[in-house]
Chain A
Amino acid sequence: MNTRAATGLMLASTIALAACQKKAPEELPPPPVETATPTPTAPTGPAVGSQTHFVEAVGQANTVVYFDTDRFNIDTEDQTKLQRQAQYFSQYPQVTFTIEGHADERGTRDYNLALGERRANAAKNYLVSIGIPANRIRTVSYGKERPVALGSNEAAWAQNRRAATVTIN
């Protein structure tokens, strides 16, 4: 269970409790009993399926694949990265994730949105081809809207032509 869902449950039970309290109690509630707070026995680390856990497991460099101008093919370097990702997702079959497709700024807006979608799907299709179920993978294109490198030069553009895998969006 992730933290957000746990918080949601806690909220829900608080609300339920509040609703109960509106009724006048028929008898006085029993006095509170002293309970010891359980101490965590396992060492705390990033939760399975969190982005931190994913990055620590596969390595930051393996979470992003890069593309040439206007291209969307998965080359051997990309395959190695995606295979590493696939190992993680095979190990934790409950984890769903998103592949974000991006383009550099040197393209028209509409085309770049479609190109980002094509890149995200290329990465997804490769993961599916090596055994990751398609229904665990969401794709989203940001076109040229979310650059990571901010310069207007070939080095920056090369970093922005990418498909990035994220486990929490």
Chain B
Amino acid sequence: MKYVLIAAAALVAAPLAAQNQDLGQPIPEGGEVETIEESEGLSGSVSFEGNLDDLGIAIPGFATDRDVATPASSSGTAALGKELARVITADLRNNGLFKPTGPDALPQPSFGEITSPNWPTWSNRGAEMLVHGYVRGRGDDRLTVGCYLYDMALQQELVREGWVVPPADWRRAAHKCADLIYSRLTGESPFFDSRIAYIAETGPKDNRSKRLAIMDSDGANHRFITTGRSTALTPRYSPDYKKLSYLSYVDGNPRIYVYDIGTGRQTLVTQSANPTFAPRWSPDGRWLLYSMAVNGNTDIYRVSSSGGEPVRLTDTPGIDIGGSYSPDGGRIVFESDRSGAQQCYVMNADGSNQRRISFGGSRCATPEWSPRGDQIAFTNASSFNISVMTPSGGNVRTLTSGWQDEAPTWAPNGRIIQFFRTERNSGKTSLWQVDLTGDNLRRLPTPVDASDPAWGPILP
């Protein structure tokens, strides 16, 4: 038997050189965003008491003290100030939050007015909230961006924050401002300053090209990582955004690779001739789960992200696959067909105490633990809709109704679920997202068809 195994390994082993043949140019790593300790803002309570969806927010252009050239915008910091306000407006509007009015429909405040709003200018515009901000060029090419939120009825500041960003990361300052506004008004954790890895698809149904791609949470800064010569599937960002794990057929076999974004190099998750699927990081980034088929039987394994011996966590006959850690890293929800069909199970992080949690009568697949810990999103693989349930399998709610919706992934704050939708017959795919309440269903614009989304945490 041992001889046979070695012979089989030799048969499928591919030259190491083949492993990097599908990668495009390495992309520059993001810079550091530094939060400035601004003087303490007043922390009055919000005067508005209606539905937050109806909350009007005026977001005029960010002011600049001196219009200077910046690598972030060929038109200088004044034009960039307007662009910052547009990004914030789009963040809030596209997610169905509030009723924002952007800088193109509003007068431009002066630099001095940012900390001292000209109230009469804004009071007759029907907005309950006012956002002001500024952008200043620094001697070192970096930018300082300040963000202020005012309550119009109280004529009072609610919150302020500032950031120093490299010019290439100017959009992050806008997302951080949108996060500041969102968190202050809803009491929820932020989510805009984050990224998404996914698979970009082109070509006919029987000859799809599938490329690993990344983008900001609003679709900006889109980049392809692989060239499309080999099929790439199921990416996941490491929590520090320094690595991407994904499946590639680059050596002819489906295997999980870990791609280092800074160096542009990638390595196999495990040195085995067996196929590996479904990579998943632990919330602290120290562990990587993968699933491996041995003689057709698939089990879940855990390996340290710094290397070392993998540990097998499941050992039942059948397909045990995927896995998603609870936010504290103590438990893993995964999928298994040990009962005869796909169902969701929870185990301790060391593989002990495996128990089934889904008993709804439908197939339960691709479970993903919410970053808040209170919900598990999954694919109902009987009706192909996105659903949520509690970690004990209770209170099941169906959130979508496409022909085939699958692969939920959570926003960093656990309030929004992203997934992909496949059209009947054409097989065309697209990314969608929906609130945990089932509201605000919307399609995310992508340059080409898109599947397998993976939403990362808030950027470090």
Contact = CB atoms under 8 A, between A and B. Distances in A.
A136 B295 CA distance: 15
Interface residues of B, number: 49
A119 B296 CA distance: 7
A146 B4 CA distance: 29
A11 B277 CA distance: 38
A106 B4 CA distance: 35
* Centre residue among A70, A107, A111, A135 by max chain B CB count within 10 A: A111
* Centre residue among A70, A125, A136, A151 by max chain B CB count within 10 A: A70
Nearest to A107: B381
Nearest to A134: B4
Interface of A: 70, 72, 96, 105-111, 113-115, 117-122, 125, 133-143, 145-148, 150-152, 169
B406 A109 contact: yes
A122 B403 CA distance: 31
Contact of A140 (B208, B275, B321, B379): B275
Contacts of B291: 110, 114
Contacts of B101: none
A118 B407 contact: no
A104 B341 CA distance: 16
23 contacts: A108-B379, A110-B277, A110-B335, A111-B342, A111-B365, A113-B254, A113-B275, A114-B277, A115-B319, A117-B293, A118-B293, A119-B296, A120-B296, A121-B293, A133-B4, A135-B7, A140-B252, A145-B208, A145-B231, A147-B206, A150-B206, A152-B403, A152-B424
A107 B384 CA distance: 8
B254 A141 contact: yes
A114 B427 contact: no
Nearest to A145: B231
Nearest to A153: B425
Interface SS, A side: mixed
Contacts of A113: 233, 247, 254, 275, 277-278
Contact of A105 (B4, B278, B298, B427): B427
A105 B252 CA distance: 21
B366 interface: yes
A147 B296 contact: no
Contacts, number: 113
A138 B422 contact: no
A158 to B, nearest CB: 16
Interface in B302-322: 319, 321-322
B205 interface: yes
A145 B425 CA distance: 14
Contact of B321 (A105, A110, A133, A141): A110
B238 interface: no
B43 interface: no
B296 A108 contact: no
A147 B12 contact: no
B4 A135 contact: yes
B407 A108 contact: yes
B193 interface: no
Contacts of B151: none
Contacts of A120: 296
Contacts of A133: 4
B254 A140 contact: yes
Can you list the 5 inter-chain pairs with the closest CB atoms, starting with the nearest? A121-B296, A135-B7, A114-B298, A118-B296, A117-B293
Given A118-B298, A140-B253, A141-B275, A108 B4 contact: no
A117 B427 contact: no
A138 B13 CA distance: 11
Contacts of B8: 134-135, 137-138
A137 B366 CA distance: 31
A96 B234 CA distance: 31
B321 A111 contact: yes
B452 interface: yes
A110 B231 CA distance: 14
Given A70-B341, A105-B422, A111 B319 contact: yes
Interface in B1-50: 3-4, 7-8, 10-12
A152 B426 CA distance: 8
Contacts of A109: 233-234, 406-407, 451-452
Contacts of A148: 206
B293 A147 contact: no
B384 A106 contact: yes
A109 B10 CA distance: 28
B38 to A, nearest CB: 46
B322 A151 contact: no
B427 A110 contact: no
A118 B297 CA distance: 7
Nearest to A124: B296
A107 B4 CA distance: 32
B260 interface: no
B337 interface: yes
Nearest to A119: B296
Nearest to A128: B4
A106 B275 contact: no
B322 A110 contact: yes
B180 to A, nearest CB: 36
